[in-house]
Structure 1
Amino acid sequence: MIYVLMGTMIFLLLLGFPMFVPLAVGAFATVMIYFPFVDPSMLVQQIIGGVQPVSLIAVPMFIFAADIMTSGQVATRLLDFVLKFVGHKRGGLPIATTTACTLFGAVSGSTQATVVAVGGPLRPLLLKAGYSSSYSTALIINAAVIALLIPPSVYMIVYGVVAGASVGELFVAGVGPGLLIWLLFCIYSWLVSKESLQAEPAPWKERMKALKKALMSFTFPVIIFGGIYSGIFSPTEAAAVSVLYAFILEFFIYKSLLLKDIPKIALRTGMITAIVFILIAMGQVFSWTVSFARIPNMILPPLLGEGPTEFRILMVLSLAYFLGCMFVDPIVVIMILTPIFKPAITASGLDTVLIGTIVTLQAAIGSTTPPFGCNIFTAIAIFKQDYWDAVRGVFPFIAIMMLVSLLLILYPPLALFLRDMMIQ
């Protein structure tokens, strides 16, 4: 059964079909061959049901808000603010790059948008300052994935829907690991930089001016985060608020966009949303097939052994998601692996929010890991860079994120302390 399911998927992928086709065909083929008594309409119902959860409304909203801000001035103002404050210090430029990626990621929730909006203007500055092409690209694409951990995060929303975990709690749990990765990236950038790269510090008058310009951008995560945990609105409603705030900010306060720009931005959002929702829908029918066929009972015992410890479950889970995200879109990996590991997670009593944070971190690592990390190809397209030059410098950053992943497994409060504090 497993051979039919996976063999069909691999065969169709090798033929060049987009990922949603192998997911659907693999599921249908398995059910038709091994469970002929199942009405095919049940599979169609699963496809429809996959995109019915109310929480998924947040996905196009956050994408739309990110597209508005990417088209406007938010990234530029954040860049100017960060450079004015730390650009003159040792390692200031790469530290500024890491910080700008983190800040913009917290606003947009999109790694690709962060690579484009922050990496576009900063990579030439890094090259001019003497940093290698491979290091500059690696820094940008790895700092951009911090956006997956600091809310809003589309991957956390998808995981929350599939696993039945609280999206709001997932948002909070990602903040600690995200900030730790930011800090470790900054320390690494300081260590590999030289004193000769320092510049004159900006006058405090210019710093305050840059702060004033960026202040409204900082308000975005505060509104989203504070609104959810003060009970003013739910995570889904927060997504709608994010669109409204982005619209007001760019169209009326910054005046960087015109009303005629909305159709173009909305079309881009619609295309990305369609891809995401098709993957979720087909992932749902695949997940249902995996559960119905009791495939977890066939796969997990050899992997976990008899009476597995929480540590072993988390290590095997992390490795599985990491390897999957190296080759396939993380949304697909979440849809496929989550129902497989769910029985073991439930039986062990592990916190689904902790699991969601670890899964999202593996998605972040996989997004920058060769051979097929999606951020690598985004950078190649944007920076017109050779593949091997782009991936040469990623491994120290991947090692840092793997270290944080191990720390999460060994010390769960790293992710859960903020969540527990807010619940209390």
Structure 2
Amino acid sequence: MLWSILVGLALCILIGMPISFGLGAISLFIFFYSDIPLSPLVDQAVNGLDSFPLLAIPLFILVGEVMSAGGIATRLVRLASAMVGFVAGGLGQVAVMTSMFFGGISGSAVADASAVGSMMIEPMKQHRYSGSMATAIVVAASVVGIIIPPSIPMILFGVVTNTSISELFLAGIVPGILITVCLAATTYQQSRQNGRGQPFDFGELVSALKEALWAMLLPVIIVGGILTGIFTPTESAAIALVYALLVSCFIYRSLTLKTLFGLCITTGRLTGVVMLLLAFASVLAWLLTANMIPQQLVVGLSSLTDNKFLLLLILSAFLLVVGFFMDLTPAMVILAPMMTPVVVKLGIDSVYFGVLMSFILGIGLITPPVGTVLYVGCGVGKVSMERLVKSLLPFYFTLLALLALFLLFPGVVLWFR
């Protein structure tokens, strides 16, 4: 059955069918072929969405939309510019720092690249950055958005594998900071010829900090509330949304009801895509479990090797290849339930694997031919795919070096465990 599902998915990708529809078609085929009544199909699809943590996804998406439209993101850019804009290749550093700030609120690499790119790429071009390099910096930095908490991929991983989302968020803090620092170092190396973006101005830093103070409280509310156990990730998303709306509407006064309605429509569309995919993936997961496929996979891979590092190396290489051809969300909801029992069987922490899987599939978002963030970058930066990928090469090496670090030293990921 597993091979028929994989072949079916490959065919869906080749003909350009949306993955969610492909999963539905494959599930229907298995139901008819196995002569199983269709009644469990609807039950399992609904049960797959009947999860309180999933409510965090549309809430965090809407928080990101409100940030972009409500002036919060603009103030974060100004603060990042005051903090690191004086470094060689200063605007590139600003883009990386802003991505970390934005990712600490939205939890989405696509939203990160779109919002930061629309604000930073044109100014970077005006400061002698090539269009491809400016876009490459923004695209590479967007990976931080799905590692630093909150993280939509980690929410999905937690839901489909019954792993604590709070612990996943905590485990993403140190890797997220490391990724930011290493990407900033790569940006420095690649953009030194662009000189200093601006002289350091302590007065500007104080002014930017005062103006962005309300915006900076958002990640504090999200991460601090989870760390202290005051509220769950889902509750933190709801509180963050209320806070973002209050700040944007009544303090910055840059968000109208008409604009908010449009943001809700956009959020609904994005959420619908994710939920439809998750519904059909839940049906497929039920079929796999009923046919003992995860157990067979555990036995098969365990017989291949009982070395933890070697197994993680094999799975990491497989996920990197998957990332070339499949978007992060379908890859996460399809593969996480199958792979997690395998790694847990060998004594590997599921929280560690969740962060690792999110990072590897995040790299897939910025690699051709299917990388979603690549296409966002090409559109925002107005550059060709070929030029963008060429400029991304140093960042690919940095991210792969970080992956090797996380594989060799799991304690880096599990720092707060």
Provide the TM-score with structure 2 as the length reference: 0.95
Which of residues 150, 153, 156 in structure 2 aligns to 1:152? Answer: 150
Which of residues 236, 240, 243 in structure 2 aligns to 1:242? Answer: 240
Deviation per CA, 1:376-415: give whole Å up to 9, x if none. Answer: 0111222232221222212221221122122112111111
What is the correspondence of 1:110-129 to structure 2 with a 5 Å cutoff?
Answer: 110-129=108-127
Does structure 1 residue 274 correspond to structure 2 residue 275?
no
**Secondary structure of 1:394's partner?**
helix
Does structure 1 residue 324 correspond to structure 2 residue 322?
yes
Q: Is the 8 A contact 1:87 1:96 kept in 2?
A: yes
Q: Is the 8 A contact 1:324 1:330 kept in 2?
A: no
Measured in 1, the distance between the counterparts of 2:118 and 2:194 equals: 24
307 and 379 in structure 1: CA distance in 2 versus 1, 3 angstrom threshold: closer
Measured in 1, the distance between the counterparts of 2:223 and 2:287 equals: 36
In the TM superposition, residue 189 of structure 1 has moved relative to its aligned partner by 1.7
300 and 233 in structure 1: CA distance in 2 versus 1, 3 angstrom threshold: closer
54 and 80 in structure 1: CA distance in 2 versus 1, 3 angstrom threshold: same
Measured in 1, the distance between the counterparts of 2:217 and 2:153 equals: 23
Does structure 1 residue 78 correspond to structure 2 residue 82?
no
Q: Is the 8 A contact 1:6 1:26 kept in 2?
A: no
Matched residue, 1:416? 414
Matched residue, 1:404? 402
Measured in 2, the distance between the counterparts of 1:12 and 1:200 equals: 50
How big is the alpha-carbon RMSD for the aligned residues of Structure 1 and Structure 2? 1.8
198 and 307 in structure 1: CA distance in 2 versus 1, 3 angstrom threshold: closer
Q: Is the 8 A contact 2:131 2:381 kept in 1?
A: no
In the TM superposition, residue 299 of structure 1 has moved relative to its aligned partner by 5.1
* Amino acid in structure 2 at the alignment position of 1:7: V
Does structure 1 residue 394 correspond to structure 2 residue 392?
yes
Identity %: 32
In the TM superposition, residue 302 of structure 1 has moved relative to its aligned partner by 5.7
In the TM superposition, residue 88 of structure 1 has moved relative to its aligned partner by 2.2
* Amino acid in structure 1 at the alignment position of 2:256: L
Structure 1: which 5+ runs fail to align? none
Deviation per CA, 1:21-59: give whole Å up to 9, x if none. Answer: 1111112212432x32x3221122111111111111111
Matched residue, 1:381? 379
Measured in 1, the distance between the counterparts of 2:349 and 2:11 equals: 36
332 and 197 in structure 1: CA distance in 2 versus 1, 3 angstrom threshold: same
Does structure 1 residue 14 correspond to structure 2 residue 25?
no
Q: Is the 8 A contact 1:104 1:114 kept in 2?
A: yes
Matched residue, 1:368? 366
Q: Structure 1: which 4+ aligned runs deviate by more than 6 Å?
A: none
Which of residues 194, 201, 204 in structure 2 aligns to 1:203? Answer: 201
* Amino acid in structure 2 at the alignment position of 1:115: A
Matched residue, 2:346? 348
In the TM superposition, residue 322 of structure 1 has moved relative to its aligned partner by 2.1
**Secondary structure of 2:391's partner?**
coil
Deviation per CA, 1:359-392: give whole Å up to 9, x if none. Answer: 1101210110111110001112222322212222
Does structure 1 residue 215 correspond to structure 2 residue 213?
yes
Which of residues 85, 95, 102 in structure 2 aligns to 1:104? Answer: 102
Measured in 1, the distance between the counterparts of 2:327 and 2:194 equals: 41
Provide the TM-score with structure 1 as the length reference: 0.93
Measured in 2, the distance between the counterparts of 1:200 and 1:283 equals: 50
The number of residue pairs the alignment matches comes to 417
Measured in 1, the distance between the counterparts of 2:305 and 2:30 equals: 30
Q: Is the 8 A contact 2:327 2:370 kept in 1?
A: no
Matched residue, 2:26? 26
